[in-house]
Amino acid sequence: MIDLKKLTDEQVADYVRTKDQESYLEIVLRYQSKLMRYANSLTHDETKAADIVQNSFIKAFVNLNSFNTKMKFSSWIYRIVHNEAMNEVIKHKNEMPILEGVDFASDEDIVANLTKKEAQERVKKCLSKIPLLYSEPLSLFFLEEKSYDEISDILRLPIGTVGTRIRRAKILMKKIC
């Protein structure tokens, strides 16, 4: 019997595809809480987030044969959750807060003097108060600890746009929170 815990995500995905579909539980166990946190940061609704994650795991399983094991599995599954969450957000777009008169011209780095833990707590608190356009990359960066490259893959945005949105999100946090 193979020890799935010693395999990379990509190796587990390949094992599920080629040998044992029931081993997909390992992927679910590895990602469930992370994806719930991410989906919840996008929807601000735990029930919707749970549905999004469940649907995403189903879609990932059904489409596992299309996953390229030379790519990062985490970016692939986060992208599926992103797509599901965006579908949900679009359904409920009238519920999103609208910000008027916000000036983004600032070079100040509001988290420069905060420890990582303090920054994460502040981000969690403020995410629901800023538009999804900015809260999503900020959530991936601070809460999910994704690199700009990974965020770029997940959101399918240029790295420069990711950096700009994170910078603007920090400015919004300073002004709103």
Domain spans in the chain, listed from the N-terminal domain onward: 4-93, 99-176
4-93 topology per CATH:
Rna Polymerase Sigma Factor; Chain: A (1.10.1740)
- pLDDT classification of 125: cutoffs 50, 70, 90: confident
pLDDT (tens digit per residue) in 143-169: 888 999 999 999 999 999 999 999 998
Quote helix, strand, coil % in the chain, to nearest 5.
Answer: 75, 0, 25
The reply to whether the predicted model has a pTM over 0.85 is no
Structure tokens at 93: 């777009």
Say if domain 99-176 classifies as CATH 3.40.50.450. Answer: no
Which candidate, 52, 72, 59, 43, places its Cα nearest to that of 146?
72
H or E element at residue 77: helix 73-91
- Tell me what pLDDT residue 98 has: 47
* Rounded average pLDDT over 34-52: 92
pLDDT (tens digit per residue) in 71-97: 899 999 999 999 999 998 888 766 545
Which candidate, 85, 83, 80, 79, places its Cα nearest to that of 46?
85
